[in-house]
Amino acid sequence: MRTPIIAGNWKLNKTISEAVDLVSQLRLLVEGTNEVEVIVAPTFTALSAVSKTLEGSSISIAAQDLYWEEKGAFTGEVSASLIVDSGCSHVIIGHSERRQYFGETNQSVNWKAKSALNAGLIPIICVGEMLEDREVGKTEQVVKDHLVNGIANLTEEQILNSVVAYEPVWAIGTGKTATPDQAQEVHALIRSVLADTYSSANVADRIRIQYGGSVTPASAAALLSQPDVDGALVGGASLEAESFADIVKAAQQ
C-alpha cells in the first residue's frame, strides 16, 4: 500500500505571520491523520517560522524550488542545504509555473532532483502538458519527455525517495480539473514509464504519484479513488486550513 501524500503549494502567498496562523490552524485540524502524509510548501521567507510552529507535529515542510549548486556567486538562489537548514524535508521541482515563467528545463529539473536527493531532501518532481499539447494529442509525448529526462540517471534508491506529481497545466489555477478518468490514464502512463525505466519489478508500484490541478474538497475524493492516484499537489485550496484539511480527510477514505 502506498501512503497517500497531500501537499499544499502556497506559491507567492502568505506573510510570515499569516503562514504561522495557517499552519497553527491546520495542525489542529489534521492531528491524528497518520495514514496520510501531509506537507505544506510556504514561501522561502516563511520556512523557518513554519518549521518552528510545526515542531512535534506530523506535518512536513517543502520548499517550492531550489538551485542545484551548493554555494557560490549565485545571487538570489537557495541551495538544498539551506533548505534543509530551514526545516524542510521535501522540495517541489519543475512546477509548470517554473517552466512557463522562469525557464525551467528538463535538464535543470534533473540537476535539482540530484542536488535535493544528495542533501537528503525528497523531491516532488512535476510533469504535465499544456492545453495545446492535449488538444493535438501530445499529452503522452510531453509527459514522457518531462519524466524520462527529469529523472535521468537517478538510481532505484533515489527514485524510491522521490515523488512524481502530474499537473496538467490547463487545469492549474483555471478552475478546470482533469476528470478522474483523465487523471488515472496519465498516472498509469507515468507508472508504466517508471516500470520500463527501472528493472526491479516493484519500483514503479512503490513510487507515489500525485495529481495537481485545481484540486478542491469537492473533487478530491473522486480523484484520489483512482488506483494510480496517490495524493494531490494542492494550490489555491491549500491557502485555507479548513479546505486543505478536507482534502487530507478525503485521502483517508
Nearest by Cα to 7 from 37, 48, 52, 27: 37
Q: Which residues of 149-177 are buried (b: 16+ CB within 10 A; e: fewer)?
A: ebbeebeeebbebbbbbbbbbbbbeeeeb
- Of 90, 95, 146, 187, the catalytic one is 95
Q: What is the CATH number of the domain that holds 176?
A: 3.20.20.70
Provide the domain count of the chain: 1
- Give per-residue pLDDT as tens, 229-247: 999 999 999 999 999 999 9
CA-to-CA distance for 106 and 127, rounded, in angstroms? 10
Within 10 Å of residue 197's Cβ, how many Cβ atoms?
16
CA-to-CA distance for 164 and 111, rounded, in angstroms? 16
User: What is the DSSP pairing of strand 208-212 with strand 5-9?
Assistant: unpaired
CA 24 to chain CA mean position, Å: 22
Q: C-alpha dihedral over 109, 110, 111, 114, to 10 degrees?
A: 120
Nearest by Cα to 116 from 104, 103, 125: 125
All three cell numbers of 62, joined, read: 517543502
CA-to-CA distance for 31 and 26, rounded, in angstroms? 8
All three cell numbers of 158, joined, read: 533515489
CA atoms within 13 A on the CB side of 154: 32
- Of 90, 129, 167, 187, the catalytic one is 167
CA-to-CA distance for 31 and 203, rounded, in angstroms? 31
Measured in degrees and rounded to the nearest 5, phi and psi for residue 62 equal -125, 150
Task: Let me know if 146 is a catalytic residue.
Answer: no
| Full pLDDT tens readout for the chain, 253 residues | 899 999 999 999 999 999 999 999 999 999 888 899 999 999 999 999 999 999 999 999 999 999 999 999 999 999 999 999 999 999 999 999 999 999 999 999 999 999 999 999 999 999 999 988 888 999 999 999 999 999 999 999 999 999 999 999 887 777 777 899 999 999 999 999 999 999 887 999 999 999 998 899 999 999 999 999 999 999 999 999 999 999 999 998 7
Mean pLDDT, the chain, as a whole number? 95
Task: Let me know if 95 is a catalytic residue.
Answer: yes
Within 10 Å of residue 185's Cβ, how many Cβ atoms?
15
Instruction: Write the Ramachandran bin of 213: left for phi over 0, alpha for psi from -120 to 50, otherwise beta.
Output: left
* pTM for this prediction: 0.96
CA-to-CA distance for 252 and 145, rounded, in angstroms? 32
The residue range of the domain holding 183 is 5-252
